[in-house]
Amino acid sequence: MSAKSLSLLILGVFSCVAHAQDAPKGPPDGWSAFLLNNVTVQQSSEDALRNRPSPFRPDLVTHTGGRLLNFLALQFKRGDWTYQGSYSDNRTIGGGSAYSLTNPMAFGVNTVETVGNARASVDTKSGLQELAATYRRDGMTVMVGKIDTANWYLADPLFAGDLNTGNDYGNAATRVVAPPFPSLAVVMRQDFGNGFSLTGIAGDSFGDRETLDAGRNLGRGDLAYVLELNYQDTKQHYQLTLNHVDAFRYYDKDAVWPGPGDKGPKVDAVMATASYRLDTNWAGFGRVGYSWGEGQIEDINYLAGVRYDLGRFYALASQSATRVATDNTPYRRGARGDTTFVSELTLNYKLHPQVTLGVTYDLYNTSGTSLLAKDGGWSGTRRNQVIGLRLTSFLPL
At 325-347, the pLDDT tens digits run: 999 888 889 999 999 999 988 89
Confidence of residue 21 (pLDDT cuts 50, 70, 90): very low
Residue 159 and residue 232: Cα distance in Å, rounded? 12
Higher pLDDT, 47 or 148: 47
Which residues is 125 bridged to in the sheet?
90
| Weakest-pLDDT range from 120-134, 212-226, 268-282, 307-321 | 120-134
The confidence score (pLDDT) of residue 99 equals 59
Query: Which helix (H) or strand (E) covers residue 289, if one does?
Result: strand 282-292
pLDDT grade, residue 25 (50/70/90)?
low
- In sequence order, what DSSP letters do the residues of 328-352 get, joined into one string? --GGG-S-TT-EEEEEEEEEEEEEE
- For residues 42 and 387, what is the distance between their CA atoms, to the nearest angstrom? 6
DSSP class per residue in 365-384: EESSSS--GGGTTTTS-SEE
Give the pLDDT score at 265.
82
Instruction: Look at residue 48 and tell me whether its pLDDT is greater than 90.
Output: no
pLDDT of the residue at 4: 45
Task: Kindly give the pairing relationship between strand 184-193 and strand 196-204.
Answer: antiparallel
Q: Nearest-CA neighbor of 241 among 211, 203, 200, 280?
A: 200
What is the predicted pLDDT for the residue at 325? 92
pLDDT tens by residue, 96-120? 666 555 554 343 344 556 566 556 6
pLDDT at 191 over 60: yes
Q: What percent of the chain has a predicted confidence (pLDDT) above 70?
A: 73
The region, left, alpha or beta by phi > 0 then psi within -120 to 50, assigned to residue 333 is beta
CA distances from 124 to 99, 120, 121, 178, 217 (A): 9, 12, 10, 21, 23
The answer to whether 38 and 392 are in contact (CB under 8 A) is yes
pLDDT of residue 28: 85
Q: How many residues does the chain have?
A: 397
Instruction: Please report which confidence band the pLDDT of residue 260 belongs to, taking 50, 70 and 90 as the band edges.
Output: low
- Spatial separation of the C-alpha atoms in residues 208 and 215, rounded to whole Å: 8
- Cα 281 to Cα 65, 96, 235, 237, 284, distances in angstroms: 32, 41, 12, 17, 11
- Are the C-beta atoms of residues 180 and 269 closer than 8 Å to each other? no
Determine the Cα–Cα distance for residues 39 and 132; give it in Å rounded to an integer. Answer: 27
Stretch 183-202: mean pLDDT, rounded?
A: 93
What average pLDDT does this structure show over 235-252?
87
**Are the beta carbons of 273 and 239 closer than 8 angstroms?**
yes
Which of the pair, 97 or 93, is modelled with greater confidence? 93
pLDDT for position 182: 66
Rounded CA-CA distance 196/187 in Å is 17
Beta bridge partners of 272: 240, 288
Mean pLDDT of 228-244: 92
Q: Which position has the higher pLDDT, 158 or 308? A: 308
Contact 54, 60 (CB under 8 A): yes
CA distance 148 to 135: 17
- DSSP conformation letters of 164-224: TSSTTS-GGGGTT------SEEEEEEEEEETTEEEEEEEEESS--TTSS---TTGGGT-EE
**At 393, is the pLDDT very low, low, confident or very high (cuts 50, 70, 90)?**
confident
Rounded average pLDDT over 291-309: 88
**What element of type H or E holds 10?**
helix 3-15
Percent of the chain with pLDDT over 90: 33
Model pLDDT, residue 195: 93
How many C-beta neighbours within 10 Å does residue 395 have?
13
Tens of pLDDT, residue by residue over 364-391, are: 999 999 999 888 998 999 999 999 888 8
What's residue 254's pLDDT? 64
Is 271's pLDDT higher than 60?
A: yes
Cα→Cα distances 380→48, 296, 326, Å = 10, 21, 17
Task: State pTM to two decimals.
Answer: 0.84
Confidence at residue 5, expressed as pLDDT on a 0 to 100 scale: 44
Q: Residue 321 and residue 173: Cα distance in Å, rounded?
A: 10
In this prediction, residue 330 carries a pLDDT of 83
All residues at 6 or more sequence positions from 227 whose CB lies less than 8 Å from its CB, including other chains: 6, 9, 10, 13, 198, 199, 200, 201, 241, 242
In this prediction, residue 3 carries a pLDDT of 45
